[in-house]
Amino acid sequence: MAASPLLTNLKLPPDSTVVSWLGHRVLSSTFHVNCCRHRLHQSRRFSVLAMEAKPTILVAEKLGDAGLKLLKQFANVDCSYNLSLEELCTKISLCDALIVRSGTKVSRDVFEASAGRLRVVGRAGVGIDNVDLAAATEHGCLVVNAPTANTVAAAEHGIALLMAMARNIAQADASIKAGKWERSKYVGVSLVGKTLAVMGFGKVGSEVSRRAKGLGMHVIAHDPYAPADRARAIGVQLVSFEEAIVSADFISLHMPLTASTAKILNDETFAKMKKGVRLVNVARGGVIDEEALVRALDVGIVAQAALDVFTEEPPPRDSKLVQHENVTASPHLGASTMEAQEGVAIEIAEAVLGALKGELAATAVNAPMVSAQVLSELKPYVTLSEKLGRLAVQLVAGGSGVTNVKITYASARGPDDLDTRVLRATIIKGLIEPISSVFVNLVNADFNAKQRGLRLVEERIILDGSPESPLDSIQVQIFNVESRFASAISDFGEINVEGRVKYGIPHLTKVGSFGVDVSLEGSIILCRQVDQPGMIGKVGSILGEENVNVSFMSVGRMAPRKQAIMAIGVDEEPSRKSLRRIGEISAVEEFVYLKL
């Protein structure tokens, strides 16, 4: 069975879950049927990959052995380090996936050079500021990271720098190695009882906080998005940015580099700090205005800084910041422990292989993260959504531009209880792919919708009843268009199709204002006819003559002997001649053949 690029067709083995989110040109349909089995043993988990033509993965920075070993079982792995942008662009057109750390800029040029082949970028670490996410999304390329395996290493490095700075370890070491014995020069400061402001109370920030509390420090944190109860649970008070920087003796930075955090520490903010504050940065160099930091160090506002990360890496040899006598520096070593690197390598190898195989990676950073449980539950609705989108757009008469679409989910569950983003994406896919050459997947669905000027409105109708089943029905309406099948226009003037899942199989249950019931497999012929005996037989025998198997027939009528819609599901494509003959049946007023 041919699998559609974004999702599998229906006849999946019983233990399979949804979905090929990335639509692999190089990977066959087999990938699409064995997904989201996160807890399977690795060898079973990726066995499908092993059976197929191997994908090619470019590993552009050093990766732990365990991860490489895993990748090599299922893919051709090209380990090429220190590539120039030109070399990277040349190689990338032959690769299905790319794995990098923080040292490789994955810019728009790289995605353009891949000419659509690159399906996944794996960032072996947390920060994805070196990957052009907008370009990745536009090219339908998934970006995954490895967000957990280096948390402790980064936190430990932060604490190591904090203590080394407070006790002048690096400077004293250099001094003694130079043959000096400068005990009074390197008198340090104590940590106990001092206030540490942790800026960014995420994974690393909270681990640093825990450890700093163990050292007897008073820890406050600033993070606009962190829940106060998580902070309270480890005895940390969340405070405003202002309060954090004015009251801290030590500041430790743990936020991501984003447009709103870039140079968040600058001349203005340094001026508000306690004179003699000490600063640790294991986050990203760009969150500090480095020239302002040099000025703050020169005048003693900042007594010392301990820095693992820099705006430019490596920093220039003559960097005033690195050379400053009150700066302790390390070359981006936060994640560099044996344990973290092995962990990160395995985490990213699994994420990349899973994504190549069609799983929706739990660590995707440019696609909605939908849990495996939700995906499994929504599987038949994902199929239904795409087919409704396909049907609806094929009902539009040529020349009518599709711009206004409404999706209505009828469910006993509220929005908090049911995540429908994946359904929206597959409806977009269904709407766009039959009428364009673009390739739509979960990653780029919204982008493509926007590009085409498609405005989607979503509505939830909350039903009484059991929330056991996630959805009762999905309705897709296209407004302000004409239809090539007039009966698809509802009494309110828009193209309307509605579907439900019955016994795990998607069904079309409404066209225009007519109720029908036809399973959405194969293709569909819709006929409007005057309801009269013998119609089903007439159409059935025309199709039977050329051996077209009718999988389903359903008649939806307004009233006996009045107009009715006959929906006929067919497994094979009927010939033009047969379709013409159906059209010639005197009671048939209009008909349309729709490919699913």
Ligand X SMILES: O=C(O)[C@H](O)COP(=O)(O)O
Lay out the sheet containing 142-145: strands in order across. 76-79, 56-59, 97-100, 120-123, 142-145
The listed partner (ligand NAD, ligand X, none) that binds 368, CB under 5 to 8 Å by sort, is none
Catalytic residue among 284, 424, 528, 581: 284
Residue 453 to residue 459: CA distance in whole angstroms: 19
Q: Which does 202 bind (CB under 5 to 8 A by kind): ligand X, ligand NAD, none?
A: ligand NAD
Q: What SS3 class is residue 181? A: coil
Q: Which of 101, 117, 332, 581 binds ligand NAD (CB under 6 A)?
A: 332
When asked if residue 334 is in the footprint of ligand X (CB under 6 A), the reply is yes
Give the three-class secondary structure for 270.
Answer: helix
Which of the ranges 40-48, 98-106, 367-375, 456-464 carries the binding residues for ligand X, by CB under 6 A? 98-106
Among ligand NAD, ligand X, none, residue 101 binds (CB under 5-8 Å by kind): ligand X
Report in angstroms how near the CB of residue 59 gets to ligand X at its nearest. Answer: 13
β 588-595/523-530 pair status: antiparallel
Q: How far is the CB of 181 from ligand X (least distance, A)?
A: 36
Stretch of 100-108, 114-122, 459-467, 474-482 lying at the interface with ligand X (CB under 6 A): 100-108
DSSP string, 136-172: HHHTT-EEEE--STTHHHHHHHHHHHHHHHHTTHHHH
Catalytic residue among 119, 332, 528, 581: 332
* 123 flagged as catalytic: no
Of positions 32, 37, 119, 284, contacts ligand NAD by CB under 6 A: 284
User: 504: burial class by Cβ within 10 Å (0-12, 13-18, 19+)?
Assistant: exposed
| Mask for 77-116, x = binds ligand NAD (CB under 6 A) | ----------------------------------------
CA dist 245 → 87, 160, 529, 593 (Å): 44, 21, 75, 67
DSSP state, residue 485: S
Binds 225: which of ligand NAD, ligand X, none (CB < 5-8 Å by kind)? ligand NAD
Residue placing its CB nearer to ligand NAD in the complex, 308 or 494: 308
Which of 35, 126, 162, 568: binder of ligand X (CB under 6 A)? Answer: 126
CA dihedral 17, 21, 27, 30 (to 10 degrees): 20
Q: Quick check: is 156 catalytic?
A: no
Residue 404: its H or E element: strand 404-411
Task: Name which of 184 and 260 has its Cβ closer to ligand NAD.
Answer: 260
List binders of ligand NAD among 442-471 (CB under 6 A). none
Tell me the closest approach of the beta carbon of residue 148 to ligand NAD, in angstroms.
Answer: 8
> Residue type at 272?
K
| CB 246 to ligand X: min, Å | 28
Beta bridge partners of 595: 523
CA R_g for the chain: 30
Residue 124 lies near ligand X (rule: CB under 6 A): yes
335 vs 392 by CB, closer to ligand X:
335
DSSP per-residue letters across 312-373: SSSPPTT-HHHH-TTEEE-SS-TT-SHHHHHHHHHHHHHHHHHHHHT---TTBSSS----HH
Instruction: Identify whether 313 is a catalytic site residue.
Output: yes
Q: How far does Cα 354 stand from its chain's mean position? A: 13
Question: Which tokens hold the place of 211?
Answer: 């450890």
Can you count the helices (H) and strands (E) in the chain? 20, 22
One of 224, 331, 453, 537 touching ligand NAD (CB under 6 A): 224
- Separation of alpha carbons 507 and 497, rounded Å: 11
Q: How far apart are CA 451 and CA 111, in angstroms?
A: 18
Query: Which position among 201, 381, 439, 514 is part of the footprint of ligand NAD (CB under 6 A)?
Result: 201
**Residue of 313, 482, 545, 573 with catalytic role:** 313
Q: Is 127 in the site for ligand X (CB under 6 A)?
A: yes
Q: How far is CA 552 from CA 445, 522, 527, 555, 567, in A?
A: 31, 10, 14, 10, 8
Transcribe 378-400 into DSSP letters.
HHHHHHHHHHHHHHHHHTBPTT-
310 near ligand NAD, rule: CB under 6 A: no
Q: Determine which residue in the list 7, 196, 282, 423 makes contact with ligand NAD, applying CB under 6 A.
A: 282
The CB-of-480 to ligand X minimum distance in angstroms stands at 47
Q: Which of 57, 199, 423, 542 binds ligand NAD (CB under 6 A)?
A: 199
Choice between 8 and 150, CB closer to ligand X = 150
From the list ligand X, ligand NAD, none, partner contacted by residue 226 (C-beta under 5 to 8 A by kind): ligand NAD
Residue nearest to ligand X (CB): 125
Q: From CA 279, how far away is CA 197, in angstroms rounded?
A: 10
Tell me if 335 contacts ligand X by CB under 6 A. yes
496 binds, among ligand NAD, ligand X, none (CB under 5 to 8 A by kind): none
Residue 483 Cα distances to 131, 399, 498, 577, angstroms? 43, 10, 16, 23
Site string for ligand NAD, 241-270 (x = CB under 6 A): -------------xxxx--xx---------
Interacting positions 136-155 with ligand X (CB under 6 A):
150
CA distances from 426 to 25, 36, 179, 326, 432 (A): 18, 17, 69, 55, 10
583 interface partner picked from ligand NAD, ligand X, none, CB below 5 to 8 A per type: none
Instruction: Give the residue at shortest CB distance from ligand NAD.
Output: 202
DSSP code for 434: G
DSSP three-state, residue 101? coil
Residue 254 interaction partner, one of ligand X, ligand NAD, none, beta carbon < 5-8 Å per kind: ligand NAD
Q: In what order do the strands lie in the sheet with 250-253?
A: 237-238, 218-222, 195-199, 250-253, 277-281, 302-307, 327-329
Q: Which is nearer to ligand X, 150 or 554 (CB)?
A: 150
The residues binding ligand X (CB under 6 A) are: 101-103, 124-127, 150, 332, 334-336
The residues binding ligand NAD (CB under 6 A) are: 126-127, 147, 150-151, 154, 199-205, 222-226, 254-257, 260-261, 282-284, 308-309, 332, 334-335
Return the active site residues. Answer: 284, 313, 332
